[in-house]
A and B are shown apart, each in its own frame.
Chain A
Amino acid sequence: MTEVETKSLQSSIGNSLVVGFMASQLFLVNPIIPLSGDDRGRIMPFIDYSMSPSTHGQHGDLFAAARLADFSELASSALEMFYADLMAKQERLGTEFEQVLYQNLWTLYAR
């Protein structure tokens, strides 16, 4: 059985650190993009049907298209810490707030 080890994490939020982090990466199987200064652009989705034996955009090897540069230890750690920090600060909307939202939902939708 495969187990995922996490340290000093609370409740169900804890293990989702690793799972969520991996999930966030899996969404982004894209080819490398060139350096471009302050470019805030996004990478277009990478669809290579020759690499997708079953589902469009889904690769047999999820990381096949992504091994083009080192994801440095420092960068991995930075993202992991950011994610852990963001998760640790999560809170519910709260009862009264949810009531107001639910009671006015249809009219609140932006049109």
Chain B
Amino acid sequence: MFTVEQIQEHLPKYLTPKQQHDLFEQLNDFENRNYYTTLYETELLQGDGWTKIEVINFDTGTRDKIKGILLSNSCDIAPTNVRDFPPRIVFAPLISLQAFDELLKRSASLRPDIINTKINAIRKQRVTSLFYLPSGADLDGDHVALLDDLHTIPLQRFLTEAERAKLFTLGQMGFYLFLLKLSIHFCRFQEGIARDA
């Protein structure tokens, strides 16, 4: 039987003590910290925000190009990483939090105080299916990534999109937050279903 302590002994140890301290200090104050780094302006990394990602409406077949955040591992989508099976990028669409808020306020069944409480919970990363992205880098206004609405696009298609531009690259703290939200949303060992007879 593994205990939490035993598992910790096998965790990656690439951060120096100072980097660990800085990271946890930032995480504990993430609502007031910068999510983004100015490094890697052109590289394709997990957690990146990009424009002009092609998306298909499953119901109508309509295609459009939207802003999204990349979920695929950085290694898996590295253009230099030649593969026989052409990779696809998994991404989550972004929506403007202000636009969502305005739509919510038109709903007769939602009181303003309830809406404000929910928006506040989103900003605090407390809504499981959403990853909050504060304005910053080239992201004009607060956005949320829809983790329940994932799409894929062939990597080559993405790379050949002439007008695509990077919106942001997550810094170390933002990246950790992103991974933690992904793990909370997608990885639950004990789902409560007995799968064997």
Chain A residues in contact with chain B, CB under 8 A? 2-7, 11-16, 18-33, 35, 40-45, 47, 56-58, 63, 65-73, 75-76, 78-80, 82-83, 86-87, 89-94, 96-97, 100-101, 104-106, 108-111
Contact check, B171 vs A63: say whether CB atoms are below 8 A apart: no
A-B contact count (CB 8 A): 236
Residue B152, interface by CB 8 Å: no
CB-CB nearest in chain A for B18: A35
Interface residues of B (CB under 8 A from A): 1-4, 7-8, 10-21, 23-24, 27-28, 34, 36-40, 43, 45-46, 55, 57, 62, 64-67, 73-76, 78, 81, 83, 93-96, 99-100, 103-104, 107, 109-110, 118, 121, 124-130, 143, 146, 149, 169-173, 175-176, 179-180, 183-184, 187-192
Residues of B within 8 A of A76 (CB): 8, 11
A96 to chain B, nearest CB (A): 5
Please, which residues of chain B bring their CB within 8 A of the CB of A96? 107, 109-110
Q: Which chain B residues lie closer than 8 Å to A56 at the CB level?
A: 75-76, 78, 81, 83
How many Å lie between the Cα of A67 and that of B12 in the bound state? Answer: 6
Contact A110 B66 (CB under 8 A): yes
